């Protein structure tokens, strides 16, 4: 595995190949990331993983500072997975140039996480736009766990007529049901149990509301989640996953989207 910290040496290496399959990450690698990488490795292009904790997408400095980082462990894992290239850029490498494309931020960026994390998606699109310009990937592998992010990146790519293709990857879960996340390591055993109980509650709820939508009573659900141990709930909403609009009655394609806190850890998922 070749490791790059500078875009020019990276470009020298990759732009002469037929193209790359790109897996952007913020490190703290887990089974979700591994699954994306394994899918990328099945493509005919070389796999490039990036690790960059992007300060611009954090709306709280404290959250950026405390975001789990474990680069040594990540490198070991990526070598084991036989990843071709790893790009660990500095802030300057990413933000020290003016990208050709301006970011397109679809209006659905104001919803769900966008409403509760001001500037978050602008920061995400900014970094993704820059990565695309540096790497010019053939494929980009993204997880459905962060569905709103995936949707907005797709919209940007469509609008800007970028040639990279997004590959949507399914959410990988722990045995207790909760989505794998770098943030999970902040949870102790009791908090893991709370997250698992909340997941099971919402999983069953989704099944019930498919049959009878009047059971979707947000204030009651929020009360139940607090009872189960959530500290705060940002949102629980049903969205059509094709157009990313809130649904009024259940149809086949809706997902239940939620974001909540256990102590200071914010967890998001959709089922
Ligand atoms: P992150 O390192 O959290 O920025 O995530 C990097 C990529 O991994 C994003 O495309 C995420 O959607 C994806 N990802 C994170 N968690 C999971 C998961 N549990 N299952 C599948 N993909 C995931």
Confirm if 20 and 12 have CB atoms less than 8 A apart: no
Over residues 218-256, the pLDDT tens digits come to 999 999 999 999 999 999 999 999 999 999 888 768 999
Whole-angstrom Cα distance, residue 255 to residue 90?
36
Q: Are residues 134 and 186 in the same domain?
A: no
Annotated catalytic residue, options 8, 30, 33, 120: 33
The pLDDT value recorded for residue 4 is 98
The pLDDT value recorded for residue 54 is 98
Residue 226 sits in a domain whose CATH number is 3.30.1300.10
Supply the DSSP symbol for 224. Answer: H
Over residues 169-179, the pLDDT tens digits come to 999 999 999 99
Residue 176 lies in a domain: no
Among 145, 169, 193, the domain boundary falls at 169
Q: Are residues 110 and 199 in the same domain?
A: no
Q: From the CB of 181, is ligand 1 less than 6 Å away? A: yes
The pLDDT value recorded for residue 154 is 98
Expressed in angstroms and rounded, the spacing between residue 142 Cα and the centre of ligand 1 is 7
**Is 23 exposed, middle or buried (CB count within 10 Å of its CB: 0-12, 13-18, 19+)?**
buried
Q: Are residues 110 and 63 in the same domain?
A: yes
Q: Are residues 9 and 141 in the same domain?
A: yes
pLDDT lower than 50: segments of the chain: none
Residue 174 lies in a domain: no
List the domain range (segments joined by +) for residue 227: 182-270
In the numeric block, the tokens 């990208």 are attached to 99
Residue 210 burial (CB count, 10 A): 15
The stretches of the chain forming alpha helices (DSSP H) are 7-14, 31-41, 61-66, 71-80, 91-95, 112-116, 120-135, 147-159, 189-211, 218-228
Closest CA to 55 of 90, 29, 86: 90
Whole-angstrom Cα distance, residue 204 to residue 269?
15
Report how many domains make up the chain.
Answer: 2
Question: Is 30 one of the catalytic residues?
Answer: no
Q: Are residues 82 and 209 in the same domain?
A: no
Q: Are residues 160 and 190 in the same domain?
A: no
The pLDDT value recorded for residue 249 is 85
The pLDDT value recorded for residue 251 is 73
Q: Are residues 35 and 139 in the same domain?
A: yes
Whole-model pTM: value is 0.97
In the numeric block, the tokens 């820059």 are attached to 130
Q: Are residues 12 and 119 in the same domain?
A: yes
The pLDDT value recorded for residue 118 is 96
Q: Are residues 242 and 114 in the same domain?
A: no
CB burial string 42-68: b at 16+ within 10 A, e below: ebebbbbbbbbbbebbbeeeeeeeebe
- Measured CA to CA in angstroms, residue 120 lies from 55, 108, 127 at distances of 10, 13, 11
Expressed in angstroms and rounded, the spacing between residue 20 Cα and the centre of ligand 1 is 19
Q: Are residues 7 and 126 in the same domain?
A: yes
Q: Are residues 7 and 38 in the same domain?
A: yes
Residue 137 lies in a domain: yes
Residue 242 lies in a domain: yes
CA 249 vs. chain centroid, Å, equals 27
Q: From the CB of 50, is ligand 1 less than 6 Å away? A: no
Residue nearest to atom 10 of ligand 1 (CA): 142
The pLDDT value recorded for residue 253 is 84
Residue 40 sits in a domain whose CATH number is 3.40.50.620
């Amino acid at each position: 595995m070749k490791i790059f910290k500078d875009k020019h040496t990276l470009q020298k290496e990759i732009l002469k190949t037929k193209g790359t399959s790109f897996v952007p990450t913020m490190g703290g690698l887990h089974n979700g990331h591994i699954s994306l990488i394994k899918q990328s490795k099945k493509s005919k292009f070389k796999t490039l993983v990036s690790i960059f904790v992007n300060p611009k997408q954090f709306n709280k400095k404290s959250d950026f500072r405390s975001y789990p980082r474990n680069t040594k462990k990540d490198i070991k894992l990526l070598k084991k997975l036989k990843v071709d290239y790893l790009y660990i850029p500095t802030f300057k490498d990413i933000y020290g140039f003016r990208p050709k494309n301006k970011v397109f931020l679809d209006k659905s960026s104001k919803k769900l996480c966008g409403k509760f994390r001001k500037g978050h998606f602008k920061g995400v699109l900014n970094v993704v736009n820059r990565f695309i310009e540096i790497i010019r990937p053939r494929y980009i592998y993204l997880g459905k766990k962060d569905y709103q992010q995936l949707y907005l990146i797709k919209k940007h790519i469509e609008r800007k007529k970028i040639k990279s293709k997004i590959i949507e990857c399914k959410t990988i879960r722990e045995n207790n049901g909760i989505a794998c996340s770098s943030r999970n390591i902040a949870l102790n055993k009791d908090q893991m149990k709370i997250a698992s109980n909340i997941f099971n509650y919402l999983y069953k709820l989704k099944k019930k509301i498919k049959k009878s939508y009047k059971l979707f009573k947000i204030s009651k659900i929020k009360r139940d989640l607090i009872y189960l141990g959530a500290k705060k709930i940002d949102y629980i909403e049903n969205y059509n996953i094709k157009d990313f609009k809130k649904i009024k009655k259940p149809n086949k394609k809706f997902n239940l989207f939620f974001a909540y806190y256990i102590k200071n850890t914010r967890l998001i998922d959709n089922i």
